[in-house]
């Protein structure tokens, strides 16, 4: 079977007067933790809904495990589970009971006790199995949602902003869970987020989407490499520092931004660059690596926060 287990081709959704998503061409390989990154309103949930067949695309197609979603819906979705936005629970029932109900809906039969407990164990909720869900924190509910999705033993799990609204500890727990699903259970994970930092920490490949359109797709390592070696320099006088840096052999792309001077300098040439600035009688206040993928993301999406 093809290594690409999810492929979308020119996938698009048009609402009344706007395209919520347009020409989305995703390629998710088996084993990926795939990050789908974009600011609010970019079209992430819309794309995920189309992939999970919750809404009908206006254009294009979705292939899952080699099956066309429109032509072979059941086969295409057989090994796929997903959560779009917040999972729903019966708050006055226990986590265990919620799992049984969710299981009977997706599997068509009540999952046995062992399976439910094993799955709760995976998400770190086994000890809380008999507690009512209304006593759960937001992060615990999020993990319970993932446990429900795991009941059908999916090969691909689609999570729409799984860490949204969680505190740093809750985010870390979900991140660790995602990595465990990938490494220990071999599940391909597709997750959306509006936080680059979040995606970067777990994803092997990613796509960036903005205003309904895809901007870039590739391995996280390659994308980072392509945007590497930028540094932020605080030196004065700025004009002198810029001309000095611009004249240096191993420095390129010198630009002045609100934050300071940004230049592309390989780390091994940084000391020479600083020495050059000092020799040119510039005061060097700081030279720090610039998180350039973040800059790229902000530049391409105009998002106010990374
Ligand atoms: N049912 C709908 N009717 C009309 N417009 C919609 C509908 N659903 C989404 N949209 C619009 O489509 C665009 C993309 O929305 P979507 O929910 O896919 O974005 P998102 O990337 O998931 O954003 P967020 O990070 O806020 O969840 C937005 O402009 C939104 O207003
Ligand atoms: Mg959304």
Q: According to the model, what pLDDT value does residue 157 have?
A: 97
CA of 279 to the centre of ligand 2 (A): 52
pTM of the model: 0.83
Q: According to the model, what pLDDT value does residue 235 have?
A: 95
| pLDDT confidence tier of residue 305, bands split at 50, 70 and 90 | very low
pLDDT (mean) for 234-263: 92
Q: Where do the structural domains in the chain lie, given as residue ranges?
A: 4-224, 228-301
Q: Which of 91-100, 102-111, 138-147, 283-292 has the lowest mean pLDDT?
A: 283-292
| CATH classification code of 4-224 | 3.40.50.300
- Which ligand 1 atom is at minimum distance from the Cα of 85? 27
Mutate to test the pocket of ligand 1, among 20, 26, 38 (most ligand atoms within 8 A of CB): 20
Q: According to the model, what pLDDT value does residue 197 have?
A: 85
Q: Please give the share of the chain, as a percent, with pLDDT higher than 70.
A: 95
Q: According to the model, what pLDDT value does residue 227 have?
A: 67
List, as one string, the DSSP characters of the chain.
--SEEEEEEEEEEEETTEEEEEEE--EEETT-EEEEE--TTSSHHHHHHHHTTSS--SEEEEEETTEETTT-HHHHHTTEEEE-SSPP--TTSBHHHHHHHHHHHHHSSPPPHHHHHHHHHHTT-GGGTTSBGGGS-HHHHHHHHHHHHHTT--SEEEEESTTTT--HHHHHHHHHHHHHHHHHH--EEEEEES-HHHHHHH-SEEEEEETTEEEEEEEHHHHHHHT--EEEEEEESHHHHHHHHHH-TTEEEEEEETTEEEEEE-GGGHHHHHHHHHHTT-EEEEEEE--HHHHHHHHHH--S--
Pocket of ligand 1 contains residue 15 by CB under 6 Å? yes
| pLDDT confidence tier of residue 36, bands split at 50, 70 and 90 | very high
Q: According to the model, what pLDDT value does residue 9 have?
A: 98
- Which ligand 1 atom is at minimum distance from the Cα of 21? 14
CA of 1 to the centre of ligand 1 (A): 34
Pocket of ligand 1 contains residue 84 by CB under 6 Å? no
* Residue 297 in this model has a pLDDT that exceeds 50: yes
* Residue 137 in this model has a pLDDT that exceeds 80: yes
CA of 212 to the centre of ligand 1 (A): 9
Q: Mean pLDDT score of the chain, rounded to an integer?
A: 91
Which residue's C-alpha comes closest to atom 24 of ligand 1?
40
Which residue's C-alpha comes closest to atom 10 of ligand 1?
20
- Which ligand 1 atom is at minimum distance from the Cα of 55? 1
| pLDDT confidence tier of residue 186, bands split at 50, 70 and 90 | very high
- List Cα–Cα distances, 90 to 78, 96, 101, 110, 171, in angstroms: 25, 11, 9, 16, 23
Pocket of ligand 1 contains residue 42 by CB under 6 Å? yes
Fold of 228-301: Alpha-Beta Plaits (3.30.70)
Q: According to the model, what pLDDT value does residue 291 have?
A: 66
Alpha carbon distance 191, 121 (integer Å): 22
Alpha carbon distance 302, 306 (integer Å): 10
Q: According to the model, what pLDDT value does residue 245 have?
A: 95
Pocket of ligand 1 contains residue 49 by CB under 6 Å? no
Q: According to the model, what pLDDT value does residue 253 have?
A: 87
For 5-17, give one letter per residue: b (16+ CB within 10 A) or e. bbbbeebbbeeee
| pLDDT confidence tier of residue 34, bands split at 50, 70 and 90 | very high
């Amino acid at each position: 079977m093809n290594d690409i287990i999810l492929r979308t081709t020119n996938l698009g959704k048009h609402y009344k007067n706007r395209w919520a998503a347009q020409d989305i061409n995703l390629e998710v390989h088996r084993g990926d933790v795939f990050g789908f990154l974009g600011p609010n309103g970019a079209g992430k949930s819309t794309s995920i809904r189309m992939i999970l067949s919750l809404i009908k695309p206006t254009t294009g197609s979705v292939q899952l495990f080699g099956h066309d979603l429109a032509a072979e819906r059941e086969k295409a979705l057989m090994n796929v589970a997903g959560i779009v936005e917040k999972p729903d629970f019966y708050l006055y029932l226990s986590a265990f009971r919620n799992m049984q109900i969710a299981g009977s809906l997706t599997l068509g039969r009540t999952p046995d006790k062992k399976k439910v407990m094993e799955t709760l164990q995976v998400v770190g909720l086994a000890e809380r199995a008999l507690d009512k869900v209304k006593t759960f924190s937001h992060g615990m509910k999020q993990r319970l949602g993932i446990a429900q999705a795991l009941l059908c033993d999916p090969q691909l799990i689609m999570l729409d902003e799984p860490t949204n609204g969680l505190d740093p500890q809750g985010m870390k727990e979900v991140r660790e869970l995602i990595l465990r699903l990938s490494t220990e259970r071999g599940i391909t994970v597709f997750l959306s987020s509006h936080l680059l930092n979040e995606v970067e920490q777990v994803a092997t490949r990613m796509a960036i989407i903005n205003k309904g359109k895809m901007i870039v797709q590739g391995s996280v390592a390659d994308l980072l490499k392509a945007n590497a070696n930028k540094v932020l320099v605080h030196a004065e006088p700025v004009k002198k520092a810029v001309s000095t840096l611009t004249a240096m052999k191993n420095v390129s792309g010198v630009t002045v931004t609100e934050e300071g001077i940004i230049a592309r300098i390989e780390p091994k040439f940084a000391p020479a660059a600083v020495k050059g600035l000092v020799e040119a009688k510039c005061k060097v206040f700081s030279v720090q690596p610039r998180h350039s993928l973040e800059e790229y993301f902000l530049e391409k999406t105009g998002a106010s926060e990374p």
